[in-house]
Chains A and B, each alone.
Chain A
Amino acid sequence: MNKRTQKLLQSDGSVSVLVVLLGFLVGTILVALVGKNPLNMYKALLQSLSGYNIDNGRMNVRYIGETLNYSVPFILCGLSMGFAKRVGLFNIGGEGQYIMGMTVAQAVALLGPQIQTLHWMLAILSAIVIGALWGGVVGVLKAKYEVSEVVSTIMLNYVALYLSRIICLQLPGATTYKTANFPQTALIGNTFFQKITNNSLLNNGIFMMIIAVVVYWFIMEKTSLGYGMRATGFNKDAARASGIPVVKSISISMAISGAFAGLAGGIVALGSFKYGRVISGMDGYGFDGIAVALVGNCTALGTTLAGLLFGMLKNAQALMQGKQIPKEITFIIQGLIVIFIALRSALKLYQEYLDKKQLQKEVGVK
């Protein structure tokens, strides 16, 4: 075992890459085991990523647009999870914050002032604010009264789901599953994107996502607020003893965390649909965000890459079905990746074992 391999094993980023590759490897074996050709899976993934259909040599850029569009909520929910995690909190409430963002965006879209630009901006802003409130409440409860954020966020997910139904059923033109169509002023579609991506659903949400990634990186790595939060996340006792306002850090971080998820909800509501949805189940972006953040090590860049991966897998599902590959294989790969991430500590143990052997060699012990 040489130095370079050791260093590679120690870096979080390379572990993530390794884990993803391992997930695909096992996924490939599974596809082969059920008697399908794994090559077809990779063809679907290639097409989802690049739009290139290797079988007939045709190119359809719409797939690129869709992959990117699917990635947006994954990345934003990943940022939501990641932001809280960096402060030492486990935000399982991304789903609830996402639902609240979606709900409020839909309400503002249907009821708000129909003025160009202002309308959708207002809807998106409302989604961010409600997400921040939905998460911030948890933060305050945690910081002031030591209520476990895991329990309260899980509970709030259900509150959000049913509250969303109650609210959306009151909106204009509501049936049991949808509302009236949104006015044009509320939509965030982008005609330029539609033109170059062959009418994909890719919309202005991607700009908002990019801004969110930059904001995440900026707050965490560059500002004094982020410094205090990171210190709190790493060592709460030392942070407190050094005068860092830990209570404030926790509340604010949960609010910012919720804001990311709320934004995801707003973007999906206004970008992917032309009407409001009266949901009866959860979309799952909030939960997938947990995996995205873990794969991305809660860094801005890592989370973005992991979100793109998840978006690609989601977009590949339909393509796989077309090639007789069960689409569930993408869920299996996602699941495997998460399990392997959890096995990271096993890799660390292996590393320690290597260190020890190396040492014994150096001191000349059999």
Chain B
Amino acid sequence: MSEYAIEMRNITKTFPGVVANDKVTLQVKKQEIHALLGENGAGKSTLMSILFGSYTADSGTIHLDGKEVDIKNPNVATSLGIGMVHQHFKLVQNYTVTENIVLGMEPTKGRLLDLGSASKRVKEISEQYALRVDPDSLIENITVGQQQRVEILKTLYRNANIIIFDEPTAVLTPQEVDELMDILKKLRSEGKTILLITHKLKEIKEVADRCTVLRRGTYIGTVNVADVSEQDLAEMMVGRSVKFEIDKPEQQAGKTMLKLEHLSVTDASGVSRVKDLSLEVHEGEIVGIAGVDGNGQSELLGAITGLIPLASGTILLDGEHLETLSIRERIERGLGYIPEDRKKYGVVGEFSIAENTALKNYYLDTYRRRFGILDFAAMQKEAENLIEQFDIRSAEGSSTLAGSLSGGNQQKVIVAREISLSPKVLVVAQPTRGLDVGAIEYIRRRLIAERSKGRAILLVSFELDEIMNLCDRIATISKGSIVAVNKQHEVTEREIGMMMAGSRTEGAV
């Protein structure tokens, strides 16, 4: 009998243009919670997909319990007792919990479906592992946290002994995260082996026994979590020392720059997404909107920028009404926007960096000469300036195609463009999503610098850490309404979590 439940030896996997895993080794002991840590693109998901049979490794071997196995596809993985809880749930919305769990291996009585006994079995398992969820509810009627439990139940129903969790906390509120941590510990005490893919150090410290770190597709090392600090883990992950806290000088906020009054937004199917929302952002202030994804944040930003029509309410930018203005007119009035989906809304991939940095002002006298001729040389010169100022790494300078840049550098191109236009109000959505630690640090420092220059910044983020660190005031949104607005340091992460889930707390400003 081997000491290890899972051993992956010298796994190599290449994709066109990248080596996702380069001779990676992973050894997971029985009944431990083993964290797999790495930045985006470090190869965590690829390694797990190989273990789960979604990909086949180019070379290397997998051993379960000391025996070499050939995991050709996810069905083989399931039969070997490996289960996976995906980051994006794979559930049928209008099926019940039980129906979802048995889907693909439905119990039958004769030729008829026997949901009764299935429901009983689900109840048994959920009691054994303290996974509270009503087996007869429809998926669409239960919370995200409960949906995740259904995914866990699905693996247990299939007798999984090894459960892989792919970034399980990304979609959860802080309370739900706490509950998940308890579930993980419970699973371990019931004899399961857990593999936790994450880039959140706090969670690793809280729950994991050992941690394997990957960086750019290579194996860095495996450590006992108890022996290392978060700082150590971060350094292993990034390969250099990292600064966690951001220096944010105290600063007095100025006059109101963005004033939202009684905003309402309805989506195409007539469902109200933003309800009677009011909020102010002042000069030299970062106001954060905290909330779980899908609570009206994107509709709110769409209404401010003009991408989505406004049902009612007023938007004042430095005293001017924006509601009826076109997108271009809003930009001209001083509205900057760093969109969440940078590939879709932020850059034109087939355009060069120079053409992208001029995307919002190409038609102005800066670049427009007689007869509507554009001065591309001037565009390139300005772009070269921005490339240097914003430390954009590109292969061929300003003529590099934006689509060929890494996510972090694309984001820097967008940030450079928006900041160089000196907007009065900067609306920022998920500015660090999917970026590596270096780029995250950089973008955050830039935002603070803009605040120091007196810019009014409205920040939407699903990363509560980001909101807590950067924002002067934090507005918590739930179901399209602001629950409360609190000053930084006057509210805890826990309180915000409560409000994100929809409950109003006492004493909110």
Contact = CB atoms under 8 A, between A and B. Distances in A.
A243 B327 contact: yes
Interface string A214-241: 0000000011110110110011011111
Given A237-B345, A241-B305, A223 B359 contact: no
B307 A240 contact: yes
Contacts of A223: 371-374
B12 interface: yes
A167 B58 CA distance: 69
B347 interface: yes
Interface stretch (A102-110, A205-213, A315-323, A357-365): A357-365
Given A223-B373, A241-B337, A359 B327 contact: no
Interface string A81-111: 0000000000000000000000000000000
A237 B344 CA distance: 6
Contact of B328 (A230, A243, A355, A359): A243
Contacts of A224: 362-363, 367-368, 372-374
A74 to B, nearest CB: 27
Contacts of B22: 363
Contacts of B331: 242-243
Interface residues of B, number: 40
Interface in B317-372: 326-332, 337, 339, 344-351, 355, 359-360, 362-363, 367-368, 371-372
Interface stretch (B13-21, B240-248, B283-291, B449-457): B13-21
B59 interface: yes
A155 B284 CA distance: 57
A365 B21 CA distance: 12
Question: Which of B339, B345, B349 has most A Cβ within 10 Å?
Answer: B345
A7 interface: no
Contacts of A228: 362-363
Contacts of B347: 235, 238
Contact of B348 (A235, A365, A366): A235
Contact of B14 (A222, A225, A227, A360): A360
B373 A222 contact: yes
Contact of A242 (B59, B332, B349, B359): B359
A241 B363 contact: no
Contacts of A238: 344-348, 359
Interface in A230-278: 230-231, 234-235, 237-245
A231 B359 contact: yes
B307 A241 contact: yes
Contacts of B351: 230-231, 234
A152 B368 CA distance: 35
Contacts of B346: 238, 241
Given A238-B345, A242-B359, A243-B328, A363 B307 contact: no
Given A231-B351, A241-B339, A356 B15 contact: yes
A289 B360 CA distance: 34
Nearest to B15: A356
Contacts of A355: 16-17
A112 to B, nearest CB: 31
A173 B362 CA distance: 54
Nearest to A223: B372
A283 interface: no
A352 interface: yes
Contact of A241 (B327, B350, B362, B374): B327
A227 B351 CA distance: 10
B339 A227 contact: no
B374 A359 contact: no
Nearest to B371: A223
Contacts of B367: 224
B320 to A, nearest CB: 16
A366 B363 contact: no
B315 to A, nearest CB: 16
Contact of B374 (A222, A352, A356): A222
Contacts of B371: 223
Contacts of A240: 307, 327
B326 A245 contact: yes
Interface string A21-33: 0000000000000
A54 B362 CA distance: 55
A234 B349 contact: yes
Question: Which of A228, A238, A240, A366 has most B Cβ within 10 Å?
Answer: A238
Nearest to A354: B16
B154 to A, nearest CB: 34
A365 B59 CA distance: 7
A255 B202 CA distance: 59
Interface in B361-393: 362-363, 367-368, 371-374
B416 to A, nearest CB: 14
Contact of B355 (A222, A227, A352, A360): A227
A86 to B, nearest CB: 11
B303 to A, nearest CB: 13
A214 to B, nearest CB: 13
Contacts of A230: 351
A359 B14 contact: yes
Interface string B1-32: 00000000000101111110010000000000
A269 B407 CA distance: 54
Contacts of B344: 235, 237-238
A197 B372 CA distance: 40
B380 to A, nearest CB: 14
Contact of B345 (A222, A234, A241, A244): A241
Given A234-B350, A241-B339, A242-B359, A365 B345 contact: no
Contact of B17 (A225, A243, A359): A359
Nearest to B345: A241
Contacts of A360: 14, 58
A227 B59 contact: no
A267 to B, nearest CB: 26
Contacts of B326: 243, 245
Nearest to A362: B19
A359 B368 CA distance: 45
Interface in A312-366: 352-353, 355-356, 359-360, 363, 365-366
A30 B78 CA distance: 54
Contact of B360 (A222, A243, A245): A243
Contacts of B14: 356, 359-360, 363, 365
Contacts of B372: 223-225
Question: Which of A223, A242, A245, A359 has most B Cβ within 10 Å?
Answer: A242
A238 B351 CA distance: 11
Contacts of B332: 243
30 contacts: A222-B373, A223-B371, A223-B373, A223-B374, A224-B367, A231-B355, A234-B348, A234-B351, A235-B344, A235-B349, A237-B345, A238-B344, A238-B345, A238-B348, A239-B348, A241-B327, A241-B337, A241-B346, A243-B327, A243-B328, A243-B332, A244-B328, A245-B326, A353-B16, A356-B14, A359-B14, A359-B18, A359-B19, A365-B14, A366-B59
Interface of A: 222-225, 227-228, 230-231, 234-235, 237-245, 352-353, 355-356, 359-360, 363, 365-366
Interface of B: 12, 14-19, 22, 58-59, 305, 307, 326-332, 337, 339, 344-351, 355, 359-360, 362-363, 367-368, 371-374
A-B pairs, 4 with minimum CB distance = A243-B328, A241-B345, A223-B372, A234-B350
